[in-house]
Amino acid sequence: MGLGAKRTLTRLFFIKFFFNSAKVTHLKVPSYLCKMNTKLSEQEILRRESLEALRKEGINPYPAEEVPVNVLSETIKQEFPIKPEKYTSVCVAGRVMTKRIMGKASFLSIKDSSGRIQAYINRDVVCPGEDKTLYNVVFKKQLDIGDFVSLKGHVFTTKTEEISIHVSELKLLSKALKPLPVVKTDSQGEKHDEFNDPELRYRQRYVDLIVNEGVKEVFVKRTQVFNTMREVFNEKGYLEVETPILQSIPGGAAARPFMTHHNTLDMPLYLRISNELYLKRLIVGGFDGVYEFAKDFRNEGMDRTHNPEFTILEIYVAYKDYKWMMEFTESMFEKIARKTTGSAEVSFDGKKINLAAPYQRVPILEAIKTHTGFDLIDKNEAEIKKIAESLDVETSPDMGKGKVIDAIFGDKCEKYYVQPTFITDYPIEMSPLCKKHRDDERLTERFELFINGTEIANAYSELNDPIDQKERFEDQLGLQEKGDDEAMFIDKDFLRSLEYGMPPTSGMGIGMDRLVMLLTGKTSIQEVIFFPQMRPEKNE
């Protein structure tokens, strides 16, 4: 028996076993995955006909050969005016975006990764002999907006002073079977027929990226932000690491997890809500600084600022405290803003936000005192709940003291912190993984960075006293019994790691999607995530 056959048999057995297993109920294929909608529009039929016609003419609409591209459109536009002699023989490739046919001459514009450039096609240049088929049929009739082509020729400037490619050779690289929305911009810069239905834009992001200028830029900036942070961390010698996404105990944050099941181990697993406890284990293991750009998953509501999967940067640095982290953060944010937007001041939602360091620091209880008049220090849970009610802040019996304080701050205070502000020194009940404040046992060494009334970062002097940590987890257990379904689970292995000793450490998490929103001026998280979560499209 050959190896392949054996493997097939094994697989058959596996599949049989798999589908016989009563536990695997979630694998039933939903109906929206079953059928392909094959109804074609008039334009789709015509394009398929062109495709066949091209094949009959001996033109492969999907050729395999490498394309000898030697320049990008943007480079041509920038350099041609200065060094025209360099552009007597170019080859560019890209997608046809517009086509203007004027008898024996035509213009088209193509889009490559750098931008758009116009090309001029003259029939008798492209078809020097008797046979004008390539121009009259292939170019004029069978080439559509959306197709990929390569163009060889020289660069020149048209009468209307647009830098263009004078084409001597045109080759089809890939035929498009669906018509592209044609977005036009007039001389006033006004957009016409913009592809702007958010549902279509997010579901078909590829189309959004093709036809809507500026979308790509947002995502390029997103990567720039990540890269700038990597630079800052790597310069300091911190190590980029990866930690489990599938966790048996979803720890490190207060949130509802997604649940899944591992068949071989026959056990539940959770998609991580945070990687905090794993990164701290690495500090125990002897790394001085570790960081991870982590996809986290929270099974909660979705809105303009929440996607079920989102990206957090978490960083942990040994021998530092939260005060150091504040300075580190404000200088890094200033650097990121300057690098990605060219200025420390960014515009967001009609507001000017200045990211230049340093940022104001306000203890949370002071913030509450300022904006509500109530001093919550030394107040017990019942008293604080009473105050909350008097402020029209909703509370429920399952909320502990920490959550009530959080609710008061969230409702009455955070909106005022438009300019970057470190809110510091949270009450101990709100921060089960954070070290007690060096000057006040009722508080913790924690800050959250608020910008435009939204939390962007959260940081601690990390709790490294294993006995204190155990007690804090046990307090969370109490909250769980009260009905708080977000209270943290006890992670015994994490406690064990702390018992081996963790150096004093400061750690921070930054909501990357929200940071990118801020730096790109986007008010919806869906604008900064390539493929935001959506319900499946209906079929038929």
Partner RNA sequence: GACUCGAUAGCUCAGCUGGUAGAGCAAUACACUUUUAAUGUAUGGGUCCUGGGUUCGAGCCCCAGUCGGGUCACCA
Residues 247-276 binding RNA (CB under 7 A) are 253-256
Residues 397-426 binding RNA (CB under 7 A) are 406-407, 409-410
Alpha-carbon distances, residue 278 vs 226, 247, 263, 357 (angstroms): 21, 10, 24, 31
Residue 59 interacts with RNA (CB under 7 A): yes or no: no
Q: Output the smallest distance, CB 15 to RNA, in A.
A: 30
**Which of 72, 76, 118, 353 lies at the binding interface for RNA (CB under 7 A)?**
118
Residue 322 interacts with RNA (CB under 7 A): yes or no: no
**Which of 39, 264, 286, 397 lies at the binding interface for RNA (CB under 7 A)?**
39
Residues 142-161 binding RNA (CB under 7 A) are 144-145, 156, 158-161
Residue 331 interacts with RNA (CB under 7 A): yes or no: no
DSSP code for 443: B
Q: How many CB atoms lie within 10 A of CB 325?
A: 24
Q: Output the smallest distance, CB 451 to RNA, in A.
A: 13
Which strand (E) or helix (H) includes residue 109? strand 105-111
Residue 179 interacts with RNA (CB under 7 A): yes or no: yes
Residue 35 interacts with RNA (CB under 7 A): yes or no: no
Q: Output the smallest distance, CB 464 to RNA, in A.
A: 21
| Beta pairing class for 90-102 and 148-157 | antiparallel
**Which of 104, 323, 338, 386 lies at the binding interface for RNA (CB under 7 A)?**
104
- How far is residue 355's CA from residue 423's CA, in Å, rounded to a whole number? 16
Residues 513-532, mask of contacts with RNA (x by CB under 7 A): -----------x-x-----x
What's the distance, CA 480 to chain centroid?
A: 32
Residues that contact RNA, how many (by CB under 7 A)? 78
Q: For residues 151 and 169, is the Cβ–Cβ distance under 8 A?
A: yes
Q: How many CB atoms lie within 10 A of CB 12?
A: 10
- How far is residue 366's CA from residue 404's CA, in Å, rounded to a whole number? 16
Q: Which is nearer to RNA, 355 or 488 (CB)?
A: 488
Region near RNA per CB under 7 A, out of 76-84, 137-145, 238-246, 459-467:
137-145
> Does the CA dihedral 444-250-333-214 come out positive or negative?
negative
Region near RNA per CB under 7 A, out of 195-203, 213-221, 226-234, 372-380:
195-203
* Type of residue numbered 417: Y
Residue 448 interacts with RNA (CB under 7 A): yes or no: yes
List the structure tokens of 258.
């997604």
Q: Which is nearer to RNA, 50 or 505 (CB)?
A: 50
Count each helix (H run) and each strand (E run) in the chain, helices first. 16, 20
Region near RNA per CB under 7 A, out of 23-31, 116-124, 147-155, 238-246:
116-124
- How far is residue 154's CA from residue 165's CA, in Å, rounded to a whole number? 6
